[in-house]
A and B are shown apart, each in its own frame.
Chain A
């Protein structure tokens, strides 16, 4: 009876997973085997291995890597400083706040800021560096993406730093470890799980960014996400779109495994 009722409680959960996770994945896989005229084919998979799509995959990974790297470089010190502040919850809230605003709205705001006559350029002029093209460059694309993903990188790192047992730092200190050694040998290894989680949360969506590539990078950056969008909405070649999606999913699973958490037995 007990197991019965427990299974009963599982129903909504199983239904949800089946309807909104498993079915869509299967549909994507199913569509990927059909060409534009609805014939069964493996052609889409062959096409994926042509230079066009391989190049696109490479550039997606490259940009996602850059975005993750810069997010990490900014997020780690920020998270570290946050744990040292007095009102950390308040500061944390302020950092997370922008992520409540719709991504598109933020992108449009940057269109104005980075424009030829925008705030960023007037600032550069005032500094005497002179105006330059910021919008529609690799720089603006990575900058805006990092800005958007930053809170997602800070949160897990902050949590793992916050959970860090301070006695361990004292111990390291007492045993003569300099602050750099303490960081390298104690703090960083113990917060590695947070870093991994952060990288995962940033890298995976960064792989399939698509609106920003048009708004901020002016289609000078083409990622797999852009190609999927085009295939579904314009070409209506759902087969090819799905095939790209299949490869994206495979890549994501791969990354999840790579950055997967291994539970370690420290405290």
Chain B
């Protein structure tokens, strides 16, 4: 009995001592509660030098964490284990987070650099008046193909992928909406179609693609395409851009039937401890020079009109990554389908994945 109490006491003392040391270490490095900014972003989605620059300019310490899907990010914010000051969800996730009252409004007066954002990317249906979110990057979903492997074959549309000659050549990104959207688009339906007959039709069409599919993977797709592992990858535009900077034998195309247009915006979650610093960071990122530097690192398309001037002209005039209004008109933004419909999409997607060759 006595021993047990002694042991318990020892454990408690050690724990408190450790806590004390941790807080001591944190404050010695400047990590005090009023002086930190916790950012929650997609993996590999910012130039780390910019974070350092921000820390130097403002004296605010940045804690940086990453996620790999909107859903995982939302689950973590809802649970509230860590208080994030900035998160970077995609448009349909912003809509959902707004509905669930997870966001704080953004004070535009604290972000003077907002004026540099192209009006095309402001006041979009998922967040009217940009009350809760500030544009970070945008892009498309398209087809990345390897000219060494495919030879003279030209890929211009989703339907080209069904070509029997492409047996075992296609890598897909593991996302229900991306893959189902591809099926829907190839039949000229909307990406946000809620008609169950259309969805079943799209799923059956996708089943017919299985002989051509080599694998359905996550972020590894980048590495696999880089190693010439497959002739075709269905990817987000930024992945394509980044790879094309490194390799000359890759081409990217936004399919002519239409595709997904997406936006990742910065938001301030309700649990934020330092909204002041969050605004400062947003303003910092929107600074044209910083935005240009970030874009050249990340590879996605920047909504910042002024930043384009600081960038390579070859990049900014590239129709595939900065499509004109005519092409953008054919692209669709994901709408929040509602839980039930999303579950239905996922069910069909799961059935498609189980379809044997």
* In the complex, residue of chain B having the shortest beta-carbon distance to the beta carbon of A4: B1
* Chain A residues within 8 Å of B171, by CB: 218
Binds B, one of A85-93, A110-118, A150-158: A110-118
Q: Quick check: B228 and A117 within 8 Å, CB to CB?
A: yes
Mask: chain B, 322-357; 1 = CB below 8 Å from A; 0 = not: 000000000000000001101100110011011001
* Chain B residues within 8 Å of A215, by CB: 217, 220
Enumerate B203-227 residues with CB–CB distance to A below 8 Å: 214-218, 220, 223-224, 227
Given contacts A37-B340, A115-B227, contact A233 B346 (CB under 8 A): no
* Chain A residues within 8 Å of B220, by CB: 111, 215
Q: Is B26 an interface residue (CB 8 A)?
A: no
Enumerate A48-75 residues with CB–CB distance to B below 8 Å: 52, 55-56, 59
Given contacts A111-B220, A116-B227, A233-B72, contact A56 B354 (CB under 8 A): yes
Expressed in whole angstroms, the Cα–Cα distance for A36 and B337 within the complex equals 14
Q: Quick check: B1 and A233 within 8 Å, CB to CB?
A: no
* Chain A residues within 8 Å of B71, by CB: 233-234, 236
Q: Inter-chain contact count A-B, CB under 8 Å?
A: 79
* Chain A residues within 8 Å of B353, by CB: 219, 222
Q: Quick check: A233 and B216 within 8 Å, CB to CB?
A: no
* CB proximity of A213 to chain B, nearest CB, Å: 10
Of the candidates B4, B69, B75, B227, the one whose C-beta lies within 8 Å of that of A8 is B4
Q: Is B193 an interface residue (CB 8 A)?
A: no
Chain B interface, >50% SS class: helix
* Chain A residues within 8 Å of B217, by CB: 214-215, 218-219
* CB proximity of B108 to chain A, nearest CB, Å: 32
* Chain B residues within 8 Å of A230, by CB: 346, 350
Q: Is B168 an interface residue (CB 8 A)?
A: yes
Q: Quick check: B75 and A233 within 8 Å, CB to CB?
A: yes
Q: Is B83 an interface residue (CB 8 A)?
A: no
Q: Quick check: A52 and B351 within 8 Å, CB to CB?
A: yes
* Chain B residues within 8 Å of A52, by CB: 347, 350-351, 354
Q: Quick check: A218 and B215 within 8 Å, CB to CB?
A: yes
How many positions in chain A have a CB within 8 Å of any CB in the partner chain?
Answer: 32
Q: Is B229 an interface residue (CB 8 A)?
A: yes
Size category of the B interface is 20 to 34
Expressed in whole angstroms, the Cα–Cα distance for A113 and B350 within the complex equals 29
Q: Quick check: A116 and B174 within 8 Å, CB to CB?
A: no
Expressed in whole angstroms, the Cα–Cα distance for A52 and B344 within the complex equals 13
* Chain B residues within 8 Å of A117, by CB: 227-228
* Chain B residues within 8 Å of A233, by CB: 69, 71-72, 75
* Chain A residues within 8 Å of B339, by CB: 36-37, 236-237
Enumerate A98-141 residues with CB–CB distance to B below 8 Å: 111, 115-117, 133, 135-136
Question: Of B176, B220, B223, B353, which is in contact with the most chain A CB atoms at under 10 Å from its CB?
Answer: B353
Q: Is A167 an interface residue (CB 8 A)?
A: no
Expressed in whole angstroms, the Cα–Cα distance for A36 and B26 within the complex equals 42
* In the complex, residue of chain B having the shortest beta-carbon distance to the beta carbon of A232: B75
Expressed in whole angstroms, the Cα–Cα distance for A8 and B5 within the complex equals 11
* CB proximity of B286 to chain A, nearest CB, Å: 31
* CB proximity of A14 to chain B, nearest CB, Å: 14
Q: Quick check: B176 and A234 within 8 Å, CB to CB?
A: yes
Q: Is A3 an interface residue (CB 8 A)?
A: no
Other A-B pairs beyond A52-B354, A56-B354, A218-B217, 10, CB < 8 Å: A8-B4, A52-B351, A59-B354, A111-B220, A115-B224, A116-B227, A116-B229, A214-B218, A235-B176, A235-B346
Interface residues, chain A, with chain B CB atoms under 8 Å away: 5, 8-9, 36-37, 52, 55-56, 59, 111, 115-117, 133, 135-136, 214-215, 217-220, 222, 227, 230-231, 233-237, 240
CB-based closest 8 A-B pairs: A218-B215, A219-B216, A136-B215, A235-B346, A222-B354, A36-B339, A235-B343, A237-B343
List 21 contacting pairs A-B, 8 Å CB cutoff, sorted by A. Answer: A8-B1, A9-B4, A37-B339, A111-B223, A111-B224, A115-B224, A116-B227, A117-B227, A117-B228, A133-B168, A215-B217, A217-B215, A218-B214, A218-B216, A219-B174, A222-B354, A227-B350, A231-B346, A234-B69, A236-B339, A240-B343
